[in-house]
Amino acid sequence: MMRTENISKFYDEKAVVEGVSVDIPKGKITSFIGSNGAGKSTLLSVMSRLIKQSGGKVYLEGTPVTDIEDSELAKRVSILKQSSHINIRLTVRELVSFGRFPYSGGRLTQEDEDIVSRAIGYMDLMESENNYIDTLSGGQRQRAFIAMIIAQDTDYVLLDEPLNNLDMKHSVQIMKTLRRLTDELGKTVVLVIHDINFASCYSDYIAALKDGKLAGFGTVEQMIESGILKDIFGMDFDVREMNGSRICLYYT
């Protein structure tokens, strides 16, 4: 399990995240929801140790992440930020191969190559593996970055707005893939997401942030309720059951 304990992050004395404690269930999808500026991406970055918190601790399987060596942490936790721009020209396979760096140090073994191939296949990118990243569509490019994370083979996968700038079709493909990562490979997935309906349909747990604080945490059934959502977003919601999922209609 991954756990945050009273995490705070301040910038110029302004609290972006304040006193957030949450347990991330293992082998499940947990979505962070909330309005812009709620602190979701900041909390995710603190959890992955990309940025240093102002207070509190993050624990991975009971050990503070600050006590884990960089090389070891890279084998246990991976993160994909929403701004994944690369300035050098790479093929899909070259990009995905970066996921093996914590293990190979840049010198790929045959085992590394096999893992890279499986990750490319898992994301259905075999026909594009020799294409350059900058020639791909937005959906293909995002799948390539997720393939890199899969090749990194960590138990914990953290994703910051993986659906950003994707159309409906590609968003569904990405969410189905994340669902498979948990159901088939036992990964623990934590993601920042803005679309409440995607969060409802594909998540197991939801953590809601508001003004830098944890506004609620629970299962989809517990959190996707009109009253709770109105408290978080300040909007009226009509929550309906449809095909086993809770669908939110919202009104301004």
Note the pLDDT tens digit of each residue in 105-145. 989 999 999 999 999 999 999 999 999 999 998 889 999 99
Please state the φ and ψ torsions of residue 70, each to the nearest 5 degrees.
-55, -45
Q: Does 48 have pLDDT greater than 70?
A: yes
* pLDDT value at residue 65: 97
Q: How far apart are CA 65 and CA 97, in angstroms?
A: 25
User: For 91, which DSSP code?
Assistant: B
> pLDDT tens digit string along 53-88?
999 999 999 999 999 999 999 999 999 997 666 667
Q: pLDDT class for 174, splitting at 50, 70, 90?
A: very high
First to last CA, the chain: 38
14-24 and 29-33: which strand pairing?
A: unpaired
CA distance 148 to 98: 7
pLDDT of residue 244: 84
pLDDT number for residue 248: 87
pLDDT band at 247 (very low <50, low <70, confident <90, very high): confident
- Cα distance between residue 241 and residue 244, in whole Å: 6
How far apart CA 13 and CA 164 sit, in angstroms, is: 30
pLDDT value at residue 84: 63
The model's pTM: 0.95
At residue 243, the pLDDT reads 84
Mean pLDDT over all residues of the chain?
94
For residues 54 and 177, give the distance between their C-alpha atoms in angstroms, rounded to a whole number: 34
pLDDT confidence of residue 60: 98
Cβ burial 132-170 (10 Å sphere, 16+ → b, else e): ebeebeebbbbbbbbbbbbbbbbbbbbbbbbbeebeeeb
For the packed helices 138-152 and 168-185, what is the interaxial angle rounded to 10 degrees? Answer: 10
Cβ contact 143:169 at 8 Å: no
Counting residues of the chain whose pLDDT is more than 90, the rounded percentage is 86
How confident is the model over 209-235, as pLDDT tens digits? 999 999 999 999 999 999 999 999 999
